[in-house]
Chain A
């Protein structure tokens, strides 16, 4: 089995799962309890918060644990329900955990403007500036796109946003362990993260909230997470998240180099067997190891099923919940033709992938293209 779908999710780091097991087995106390059991559990949670804060160079108080990236996004966006200003600016290539939420909120008085992207999937900050209205409350632009990997000019956007006294949120779910996250350069007010994208567990993530920003909770109850996210904490998950974040940031340059090497090798080898492949996303400003490639002579569903038969996992545009393939909205927004859109694969490498594995992937491509007489 070969796994090249790390932007969907990553395998858990064995050190992380070992820690989670240790916590689950030994520290079951309710972190809100005042006895020793509770204290130990709370100490574990606060340690994780500190690990994250240190990794990002922020304060512990800026980190609120959530049930993942989608929840963090929802928490930010659903606060528009309580805001006087109800206009949002976002981009055409956001994750559904942003775009679908905004569509949903429309019926409660929220309106939004979607700024376009260029053919590299890049937002132009000038378009954001001109979309700002008197009632604009929030701008939400992802740090790096999950399908084509394009890294957005977050720092430039932040400047525009803050000049206008608007809140700035960025969905940074795809970035830890792949690109630097320098908070005082990015200058976002709110940032969403999810542990399972960087070798941590599923179902846990966090929202970074800049000092001085007041949000209402989405889940109300026992007042956990400074009353921002009720519910007894997922202690093992949070412990795993903290360690995963620490590892991701500590090993950043090694993993960047590794991912770049793998990516370059893949591209070089693919060109050898298929000369007319098209790479999507920004040629320079993109996540290392995330390759969006169009193989015009074969549709992605046929490629995927044949790779799956060989035990190789990659992905195509956006997969529906029931597992079928549709043209990707992100590629459409980048003006990719429908024909190319449905012939596009997303291959996302991870830290355990090797050059030998890439060669096996290329061999599999070669066999499949040969089988259907699609070599070009």
Chain B
């Protein structure tokens, strides 16, 4: 009997092609559409409906069974609550990293096992390789689309049970296959932003959950230049939407967020992309996770402090009490507490952590 695999179908082109490839390879494929977020009942438009319809049409073409599962309660408890508490403490979380760990490679994986499958598959651009008795996570072949950054929290168990069928393809190839098979989503836009917020206005979304505390905007020299609506709406290095124009400074250069001073509820800004307050070479990271095993410090590697950043040379100087101190060769623009720093050795993703101090 063919090996059973459950594909997580998002309605996007990547998971659709993943399902197609597995079917071609002779797997017994079941598809599951996950609903991880529930909109208010009173809303007329259910945003996941279009995605579901796309998944349905793809499964219809491929003649694959499609099931739905609702993890919105699990998502709220394990991802969204963390997301809110991070914003509350002035940090900028990345819920998609946590969603992979807590939902897709936990509840969804369990669900697939329950259905009788041995493995799950998703449309991530990343690769899994086994050597020396360990499963390793590598960047996707399409380095431009590589999603290993979002997957660094996976461990041996998760990797041993996962397949990333499009990990060794580039996006153009994926879209070409989708088009050849007349998938309705073949030219669907790549999803951007945080999945549950979607195309909505971030500010008004957050407002529903967290009370905003307006306060002062000051320059790094302490000059009062405006009012902010609440520190949680800003992120370090942000330029657009601060609401402070030229005229306050010495030049016409744009203003950037340098710091969120929670104690005084002040947003500290500085002028110009080269402002020294925007850069740092040394950061610390906590909540460390290693895909195989922790390296011994000092350790030479590369790292990304945001998705799609080019690999940055760095040394993990110490790892003590679960906190890594990282020293970059070059200045880093706006490392941001709450975001993930992910470590690499060439193509291989080693693990990562959450930026604590910068």
Contact = CB atoms under 8 A, between A and B. Distances in A.
Size class of the contact patch on chain B: 10 to 19
Interface string B142-160: 0000000000000000000
A322 B42 contact: no
Given A103-B42, A309-B30, A324 B68 contact: yes
B114 to A, nearest CB: 7
Contacts of A302: 114
Interface residues of A, number: 16
Interface of chain B, helix or strand or loop or mixed? mixed
A325 B115 contact: no
A322 B43 CA distance: 14
Contact of B49 (A301, A306, A322, A371): A322
B225 to A, nearest CB: 42
A326 interface: yes
Contacts, number: 38
A325 B70 contact: yes
Contacts of A325: 68, 70
Nearest to B67: A305
Contacts of A372: 114
B64 to A, nearest CB: 12
Nearest to A309: B65
A324 B35 contact: yes
Nearest to A103: B42
A371 B115 CA distance: 10
Contact of A305 (B35, B49, B115): B115
B33 A323 contact: yes
A322 B114 contact: no
Given A103-B42, A309-B65, A326-B70, A321 B30 contact: no
Interface in B159-177: none
B125 interface: no
B294 interface: no
Interface of A: 103, 301-302, 305-306, 308-309, 320-326, 371-372
Interface of B: 30, 33, 35, 42, 46, 48-49, 51-52, 65, 67-70, 114-116
17 contacts: A103-B42, A301-B70, A305-B67, A305-B69, A308-B65, A308-B67, A320-B46, A320-B70, A322-B33, A322-B35, A322-B46, A323-B33, A323-B52, A323-B68, A324-B35, A324-B69, A325-B70
